[in-house]
């Protein structure tokens, strides 16, 4: 089986005698039997840690779960500094979680969760921070200050949690380089190995932003402004 792998800024072809193998198994065999200088990341080997995310034929995948095919072109994730071969620096995208305050800011101890409450953000809790959504995001490609898909999904996780005592604080945080900058292209959803739709989460965050008096700043370009129907304290303005 022949595949090509990006090595620094060039592609090298490898011929490996393997069938029905995952990409990570193929990378391991290349490293141990053909080229011990090949650099890539891996961890749990069970699609849980997200550390082995790469791009195959221009689409983000987890190397530990993707079944490699003849002629595959393997590259590192996009939109992140390249460290070596298939290894990228995830630090900046991970710091977006800190800027977006993806945690319970003010715990409401009186809030009691039902099973229905738990299901509201159950899927968002499955994010493995693999970075695939950032690699596929066209906005992050041109604006590194954009909070990005998994950070905004994290915000929705806590805004929708009844135990969060200060949801407005989180909504305030995502108004700049956040919910209104997303193009809703859905590329993040397509590549998410957990099936999380950051697009849907961002749409819900936009609706919640309107409840707290915010609006899409782009509406101001059409003249006459836009009335969200809510005052800046979240109360109805009509």
Q: How big is the chain by its Cα radius of gyration, in Å? A: 21
Nearest alpha carbon to residue 69 among 78, 56, 60: 56
Nearest alpha carbon to residue 40 among 78, 82, 69: 82
Residue 95 has pLDDT above 80, yes or no: yes
Domain boundaries, the chain: 2-88, 90-217
pLDDT in tens, 181-193: 999 999 999 999 9
Q: Give the confidence band of 220 by pLDDT, cuts at 50, 70, 90.
A: low
Q: Give the confidence band of 85 by pLDDT, cuts at 50, 70, 90.
A: very high
Query: For residue 208, what are its two tokens?
Result: 């919640």
Rounded to two decimals, the pTM is 0.86
How high is the pLDDT of residue 35? 96
pLDDT in tens, 158-183: 999 999 999 999 999 999 999 999 99
The whole-chain average pLDDT of the chain stands at 91
Instruction: Report the CATH number of the 90-217 domain.
Output: 1.10.1060.10
Cβ neighbours of residue 11 under 8 Å, at least 6 residues apart? Answer: 4, 5, 73
- DSSP assignment letter at 193: T
d(CA 150, CA 195): 12
Residue 230 has pLDDT above 90, yes or no: no
- DSSP assignment letter at 84: E
Residue 224 has pLDDT above 50, yes or no: no
How high is the pLDDT of residue 196? 97
Cβ neighbours of residue 168 under 8 Å, at least 6 residues apart? Answer: 212, 234
Question: Under CATH, what is the fold of the domain 2-88?
Answer: Ubiquitin-like (UB roll) (3.10.20)
Q: Give the confidence band of 221 by pLDDT, cuts at 50, 70, 90.
A: low
Question: Under a CB-based contact definition with an 8 Å cutoff, are residues 135 and 191 in contact?
Answer: yes
Give the mean model confidence (pLDDT) for residues 207-221: 88
Q: Give the confidence band of 30 by pLDDT, cuts at 50, 70, 90.
A: very high
């Amino acid at each position: 089986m022949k595949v090509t792998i990006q090595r620094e800024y060039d592609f090298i072809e490898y011929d490996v005698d393997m069938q029905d193998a995952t990409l990570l198994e193929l990378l391991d065999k290349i490293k141990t039997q053909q080229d011990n200088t090949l650099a890539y990341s891996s961890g749990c080997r069970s699609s849980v840690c997200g550390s082995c995310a790469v791009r195959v034929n221009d689409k983000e995948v987890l190397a530990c779960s993707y079944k490699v095919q003849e002629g595959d072109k393997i590259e590192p994730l996009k939109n992140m500094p390249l460290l070596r071969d298939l290894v990228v620096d995830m630090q900046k995208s991970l710091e977006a979680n800190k800027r977006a305050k993806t945690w319970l800011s003010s715990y409401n101890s009186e809030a009691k969760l039902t099973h229905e409450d738990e299901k509201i953000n159950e899927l968002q809790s499955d994010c493995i921070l693999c970075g695939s959504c950032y690699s596929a995001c066209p906005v992050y490609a041109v604006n590194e200050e954009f909070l990005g898909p998994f950070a905004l999904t994290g915000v929705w996780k806590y805004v929708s949690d009844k135990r969060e005592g200060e949801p407005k604080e989180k909504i305030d945080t995502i108004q700049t380089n956040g919910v209104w900058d997303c193009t809703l292209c859905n590329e993040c959803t397509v590549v998410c190995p957990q099936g999380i739709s950051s697009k849907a989460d961002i749409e819900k965050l936009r609706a919640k932003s309107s409840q707290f008096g915010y609006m899409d700043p782009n509406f101001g370009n059409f003249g006459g402004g836009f009335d969200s129907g809510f005052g800046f304290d979240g109360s109805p303005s009509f």
